Amino acid sequence: METAVHDKGSTATGKTWLMRVGIGLFALGMVAVVAVFVLFAAGLSDLPVWLSAFAGVVTPLGLALGLISLVREHRRP
C-alpha cells in the first residue's frame, strides 16, 4: 500500500520562491565567472569592472539565498 506525503508550504515542484531566486542568481553568477575566465584566456586583459563585480557578488549572493532557504525549510514544523 502506498502512502502519499504532501509537503505544506512549498510549490508544485517542491522548491520555495527563495530557493528559485537563489538558484537563478547563482546560475547567472556562474555564467559571469565563466565569461571572465574565457575572456581572460582569450588574451583580453582589460575586462569590464562590472562583469568582474557581477561575478564576485551575484554568485555568493545566490548561494547565500539558497542556504537561507534550506535552513528556513528545515526549521518548519
**What pLDDT was estimated at residue 4?**
58
Q: Is the dihedral of CA 4, 7, 9, 12 positive or negative?
A: negative
Buried (b) or exposed (e) across 40-58, using 16+ Cβ within 10 A? eeeeeeeeeeeebebbeeb
Q: Is the pTM here over 0.95, yes or no?
A: no
**What pLDDT was estimated at residue 29?**
96
- What pLDDT, in 10s, does the model give residues 29-69? 999 999 999 999 999 888 889 999 999 999 999 999 999 99
- Is a pLDDT exceeding 60 seen at residue 9? no
